[in-house]
């Protein structure tokens, strides 16, 4: 089974890349989505409109504790679906090296063929956040183990910022193949797969608050909440995403570093919202959403 790992920090564009890869994949492809928090959103977005086998692993762990549960999930996928290809999208704070080390040490490792690891970078705040001590180790882990790096959101940064990001990536991993992208759209070329996996330990104190409820939610209310997230009034929120039932039909939403996007989805049985960050104020968010 060929294994394709894609990795990137919260909101970098992993799910967008995954959806791009799925469109080019054959019917014998399975998807493993490992989300941080108790509520899965990405699996629903990826599975819509295709008949691939999508398996969700909510409550995504950080770093080493992820290995055992992920290896078990891959084993079950092999036994239940026997796909020719497995694409893994871990949570935005999961350690790529732990996934690689776990699979390379699994009792079924001889049945796996590893494709080049693709790392996704959000250039709108990469230079700013890479200097943070603990999160900086996440990027070291991601970039040291990526064979291909997509410098995403190139349409939102200046040529100077793009060059600064490129140089920062090259300093960490001179051998990686770097591709600037918009919405992770790129022809993924052949690239050499690294034999060695490098591990950096980190333990950011992120937590996720999830909400599910019935009824119609005014879109303007959600838009106002998302626009106010960067103020810090609701905690230090890095990422928010969800599926909501609005007066005009179901929609998706994304929030990353002050950027807000809404999208279409065919159907939604309930409202599902996730907010990820530090010191997330659940009661204040709930009040803003429901009242």
Going residue by residue through the chain (291 aa), what tens digit of pLDDT does each one get? 999 999 999 889 998 999 899 888 878 898 888 765 544 555 555 545 555 677 776 555 544 556 677 888 899 999 988 999 999 988 888 888 988 999 999 999 999 999 999 999 999 999 988 877 667 888 999 999 999 999 999 999 999 999 999 999 999 999 999 999 999 999 988 888 987 899 888 777 788 898 999 999 999 999 999 999 999 999 999 999 999 999 999 999 999 988 999 998 888 889 999 999 888 999 999 999 877
What's the domain range around 268? 207-290
Longest dimension (CA), the chain: 55
Task: Identify whether 196 is part of a domain.
Answer: no
Domain co-membership, 159 together with 285: no
Q: State the CATH number of the domain containing residue 282.
A: 3.30.1220.10
pLDDT of residue 2: 95
pLDDT of residue 72: 87
DSSP-derived pairing of the beta strands 148-152 and 177-180: parallel
Task: Identify whether 149 is part of a domain.
Answer: yes
Rounded to 5 degrees, what are φ and ψ at 138? -60, -45
Task: Identify whether 109 is part of a domain.
Answer: yes
Domain co-membership, 151 together with 277: no
Domain co-membership, 52 together with 165: yes
Among 134, 164, 180, identify where a domain stops: 180
Q: What pTM was estimated for this model as a whole?
A: 0.86
Q: State the CATH number of the domain containing residue 97.
A: 3.40.50.300
pLDDT of residue 50: 54
Rounded to 5 degrees, what are φ and ψ at 137? -65, -30
Query: Into how many domains does the chain fold?
Result: 2
Task: Identify whether 224 is part of a domain.
Answer: yes
Domain co-membership, 212 together with 139: no
pLDDT of residue 35: 65
Domain co-membership, 157 together with 231: no
Q: List the beta bridge partners of residue 30.
A: 53, 86
Domain co-membership, 111 together with 26: yes
Task: Identify whether 193 is part of a domain.
Answer: no
Domain co-membership, 172 together with 85: yes
Domain co-membership, 216 together with 101: no
Domain co-membership, 216 together with 163: no
Say how far residue 82 (Cα) sits from the centre of its chain: 24
Domain co-membership, 55 together with 131: yes
Domain co-membership, 70 together with 160: yes
Task: Identify whether 195 is part of a domain.
Answer: no
Task: Identify whether 202 is part of a domain.
Answer: no
Among 121, 145, 180, identify where a domain stops: 180
Token digits of residue 104: 């390379």
pLDDT of residue 207: 84
Domain co-membership, 124 together with 259: no
Task: Identify whether 22 is part of a domain.
Answer: yes
Among 180, 198, 219, identify where a domain stops: 180
């Amino acid at each position: 089974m060929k294994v394709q790992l894609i990795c990137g920090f919260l909101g970098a564009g992993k799910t967008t890349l995954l959806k791009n890869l799925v469109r080019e994949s054959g019917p014998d492809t399975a998807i493993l989505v490992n989300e941080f928090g108790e509520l899965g959103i990405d699996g629903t977005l990826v599975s819509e409109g295709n008949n691939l086998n999508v398996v969700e692993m909510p409550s995504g762990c950080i770093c080493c504790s992820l290995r055992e549960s992920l290896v078990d999930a891959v084993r079950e996928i092999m036994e239940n679906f026997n796909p020719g290809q497995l694409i893994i999208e871990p949570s935005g704070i999961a350690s790529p090296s732990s996934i690689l080390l776990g699979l390379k040490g699994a009792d079924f490792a001889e049945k796996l063929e590893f494709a080049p690891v693709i790392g996704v970078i959000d250039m709108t705040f990469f230079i700013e956040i890479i200097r943070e001590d603990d999160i900086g180790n996440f990027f070291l882990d991601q970039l040291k183990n990526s064979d291909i790096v997509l410098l995403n959101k190139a349409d939102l940064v200046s040529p100077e910022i793009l060059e600064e990001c490129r140089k920062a990536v090259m300093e960490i991993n001179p051998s990686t193949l770097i591709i600037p992208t918009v919405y992770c759209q790129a022809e993924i070329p052949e690239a050499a797969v690294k034999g060695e996996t490098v591990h950096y330990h980190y333990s950011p104190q992120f937590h996720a608050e999830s909400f599910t409820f019935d009824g119609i939610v005014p879109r303007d209310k959600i838009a106002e909440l998302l626009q106010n997230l960067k103020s810090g009034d609701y905690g230090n929120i890095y990422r928010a995403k969800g599926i909501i039932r609005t007066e005009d039909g179901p929609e998706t939403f994304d929030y990353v570093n002050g950027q807000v996007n809404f999208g279409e989805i065919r159907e939604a049985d309930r409202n599902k919202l996730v907010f990820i960050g530090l010191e997330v104020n659940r009661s204040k968010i709930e009040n803003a959403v429901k009242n």
